[in-house]
Amino acid sequence: MSTELRMEALQEPKKYTVEQKLGILREWGEGGGNGVEIAKRYGVHPYSLYRWKKRLEQGARQWLQGSKPRKELALKRLEEENRQLKETLAAVTRS
């Protein structure tokens, strides 16, 4: 293992905002280099870059199909359950 690789392993992972990730992906898509070159340029692992792209494509596909993400549906179910529990608690405490 080279010194350079060991130093990279010790570095803190970089945090990118959504806008920054989209900009990096846009640069990659516009021919700014291959995935490995772009990842190196921004100090991210190439796997992270490919994962961002896959998630972007999945999100776009859901939006174009008009389907709601699972989290949103789960949240609605939990909100409904919470409302029902509150009504039940109110009814029991009134009795």
Contacts of 56 (CB under 8 A, 6+ apart): 22, 25
Asked if the structure places residue 84 within a domain, the reply is no
pLDDT for res 67: 66
Range of the structural domain that residue 37 is part of: 3-67
Asked if the structure places residue 77 within a domain, the reply is no
Three-state SS for 31? coil
Asked if the structure places residue 56 within a domain, the reply is yes
Asked if the structure places residue 80 within a domain, the reply is no
pTM attached to this predicted model: 0.55
In CATH, what number is assigned to the domain containing residue 38? Answer: 1.10.10
Segments in the chain below pLDDT 50:
1-3, 5-10
Asked if the structure places residue 34 within a domain, the reply is yes
pLDDT for res 23: 93
Domain count, the chain: 1
